[in-house]
Structure 1
Amino acid sequence: MTQPLPTAIIGAGPIGLAAAAHLLARGETPIILEAGPEAAASVRQWGHVRLFSPWSYLTDAPARALLEERGWVAPPDQDYPSGAELVERYLEPLSRHPRIAPHLHLERRVTGVARLGFDKMKTQGRENAPFVLTTAGPHGPERFLARAVIDASGTWRTPNPLGASGVAAAGEKQAAERLFYGIPDVLGAQRERYAGQHTLVVGSGHSAMNALLDLVQLAAQAPGTRVTWALRRANPDSVYGGGANDQLSERGALGQRLRHAVDAGLLNVRSGFRADTVEQQGAQLSVHSGAQRIDRVDRIIVATGFRPDLEMLRELRLDLDPATESPRALAPLIDPNVHSCGTVRPHGALELQQPEPGFYIVGMKSYGRAPTFLMLTGYEQVRSVVAELTGDRVAARDVQLVLPETGVCSVDSGGGCCAATPAGVSLEDFSLPASDPPPFTRVD
C-alpha cells in the first residue's frame, strides 16, 4: 500500500457526515459506509416528524463551512424542521458535496469490523494492523481497509422489543404484522393502517408521546379510532417533563399536550403495565401484563427505545458498561436514572476511547440504551475524536458543550432527545366535537 489508509465512518447520518467534514477540515480522507440506499436513511424513515430542537442545534460548523462554499444559506436558527426538512435542507446537500460524495458508499451494511489478520485473541502487533470492515449489500460482500474507525451507525435499526423484560414478549414475533417499532406516519402515509382501529402505544418517551398525539388527532377525524397508552411506570405524571421550564420550548410543550389529552379523556391510560404476552384474539390481539390484559387491540406501536447493534463488533476489544452498553467511562455521565438530556457533562475522545486503539463509537450508539442524546453532543464527540485521531490532543481534550436543560428522557424512553414533537398542534386540533362524549376513561 503506497497511499495512507482512510478513516472509516460507519453511517451517513448527521453525526457520520459531521465526522467526515471534520476529517476533511484536517486534511484527512474519510470513507463513509452507509447501509441505506441514500444518506441519512434512518432520518428519512421519520421524516414526517418535527424535531423539538431548532436549527441552531442541528448543524455542525465544518459541515456548514463546506456547504457555504457552494452558496448554501442556513435555515433560520429558531425554526423547527421536520426530519424530511433536515434531510432536504442540510443532510442531502452535505452528502452530495463534491468533497464528500466521492467518499460515500451507499448500500454497504457493515457486518463485521476486525483487525486485518488478527482475531480478538491475538495481541502482539495488533495495534499496527489496519482495520478491515466487511459489508453486505447488492454489490455482494466487500472489504474495506482503514487506519481508524468511527462507528456512527446509531440505534434506529435495532429497536427494543415490546416485552418489558428486554426480550420479545411471548407471541410478539408471531404478531409482527400488526406491530410497528418507532414512530409511524399516522396522519400521512400510514393513515389507513390506523384509522378506525384500536391502537395500543407502549412506551413513555418522546416517540410514544409523538405517536399518541398523532393518534388522538386521527381519532377526532376518523370514527371508530381508539387509543390506549400502556406505560411501565406506576404514574404517568413523571413522564410529562419540564413544561414551561424546559429550555427547549417544543420539548416542554410536547409533554403538556399529552397531559391535556389525557386529562380530557381522549385516550385510555394503563400505567404499571409490563407486557409479557401477545395473544391472538380472533382477528385482534390481547396484550398481557401478568394478570392484567388489554383486549381487542388492532395495532401496536412499540416505542420502548432502542439498543446498539454490537454483533458487528464482536472481533474488537471493547469496554462497555454492562447496563447502558455505552463506553464504560461515559456511562455514569449519561445514566438516565440520574441525567436528563441537558445535564450530561461535555465529553469526547477520552471518555469514548476503547481498548482497541483507533476505534470509537459516537453519536446515539455511544449512549447505548440510554435515551439522553442530543445531536449537539454527537457533533462535539466527533470534533474531539477527529482531533485525537489527527494528533491534536489539546483540542481533543478541550471539550465544550452547553446543552438545554430539563427533559423527560428516561430508561423506557422512545429515542434520543433530538426526537420530535408535532409542533404547532394544539389540544383544539384533536378535540372531539362537543356533541360527542370522550370515548375513553383514564385507568391507573
Structure 2
Amino acid sequence: MPDPQKKGFLLNAPVLLLAEHILGSIPLWEVKSKNRKEGLREKEVVREVYYRGELRKIPLVIYASGDLGLPNSVDLELFRGFERWALSQLERKKVLDPIVRISGAEILQAAGKEPSGAAYAEVDRFFLRMAGTMISAGRTKTEVGEGTRGSGPLNRKRLRSNKGIVFKIFGTVVLPGQPNKKGEMVDKYEVELAPWYRDSLLMGNCFVIDHSLFTGMKGSLSKLLHQLLHNLFYLGKGHAEQRYSDLVGYWQIKRYMAKSKVMEQFTEAHCELLKRGFLEHWQIVPVGVREQKDFLFIWDAGSAWWKTEAQLPELQAKYELGEPHHRDSDPVIDPFLTALPEPSTGAAMTSATDTNSAARLLDEIISLSGRRKDPDVWEKWWKRAIAVVPHPRIWLRIGEVKERKARGEPINMGSYLAKLIKIEAKGLGVPWAEDENRTT
C-alpha cells in the first residue's frame, strides 16, 4: 500500500507556473454566483502599480461579454490552466504563436478539472466570455454615464464605443466545429492572443504561482484573494492593505456594515490561505465613521508566497523568457499606463496622515527592531519618519529587510531599516535626513 504521508506530499507538492503580470494586477474576476440571474455589464476597478518610483492607482472599467457577464472565479481557474498549457507549449516549441490551438480536454487537464459535459460547456463559456471582455483605460464608468444623461439608449451605446482606449485579452476565438478566417472547420479552440498580453508574457513580466496550492482551495473567495494578493504582496514586499469597499466592488459580493459579519464572510477564505502557508497573518481594522464607515484588510505574506516569489529568475530562464529571440524591435510597454491620472500631492500624502496606518507601522517597526539602547529616542525618530515618508514606501523597505534576513544576511533589522528610510526621507528633501548622526 502507498504511504499516505508520501501521497499527501505528492498531492500538495508545488507546481509552479508563471502568470502574466499586467493582467494579474487587474481585479478582473468576480465571485461565481448561482443566484445571480443577470451579471453586471461593467464595473470600475483600480489597478495599483509602481511607476517611476511611486505607487500609483490606475482607474479602469471592465466591460462584460454581453449576457455572459464578467469573468468569474471559475474563469480564473480555467485561465490559470490556459497559462499553464501555454507555458508547456513554449517549453516544447520554444515559441508561442499569436494564434494558439487548444482542446477542451487539454485546458481541463491543465486546470486540474475533471472532464464532463458540464465542464466542457464551461470551457465554451470561458472562451466566449474572455473574448468579449474589454478593459477600458482613460475613461471611467461615471464619466460615460454623465456624458449620456438624457440622450437615450442609442446615444449611450454610441458613446460607450468611444470610452477611451479599450484593450482585449483574447481577440478572435473560434470554437470547435466552427469555420475560422480561412474557412477551415476547426477541431480545437483557436484563440488569438492580444499582442500586449503575449509580448509581456514572452518578456518574462510575470508572477510565480503555486498552481497546486491554488487548485487545492475550495472557496471562490479564497481563489480571488490568492490572485489579488500576488500583486499586492509584490508591491508591498510581502505586506498588503485593501479597503473592504474595494473588494465588494471588485468581486460583486454583499456588503456588510458590522465587523462580525465581515469576519464571517471572509474567515473561511483566509483560513484556507493560512493553512497552506500563503498567509502569515491577517486582520480587519475599522476605519471611517457613519456614512464613511469602512474596514481595512491587512495581510502579511506567508512562507509559501516567499518561496514561490524567489523562483522567478529560475523559471524565466527555464522558459527562456526575455531572451533576444522573444523580443520584438520595440520594448514592451504597459498599455494601461495611458490611464494614469496626474499625480496629486494631497492623494499621495493620504497614507502619511492616516492615524491608524501610522500606528500599525510604528508597532511593526518596534517589533522588528528588538531592544534598543534608547527606546524613547528610537520611537520619536520613527514617529517623525512615519509622518513624512509615504507609508507604502516604508512597507516596501520593511519587506526588503525581512527578505535579506530570511536569506541569512547578518544585519541588524532595525538599524538597516532606519538607514533605508533615511535615504527615502533625503530624497524628499527632509532637512533632518541630511544629518547622519540623528538616527539611533
Judge same fold: TM > 0.5, yes or no: no
Q: Give the TM-score of the pair, scaled to structure 2.
A: 0.23
Question: Over alpha carbons, which structure has the higher Rg?
Answer: 2
Q: Give the TM-score of the pair, scaled to structure 1.
A: 0.23
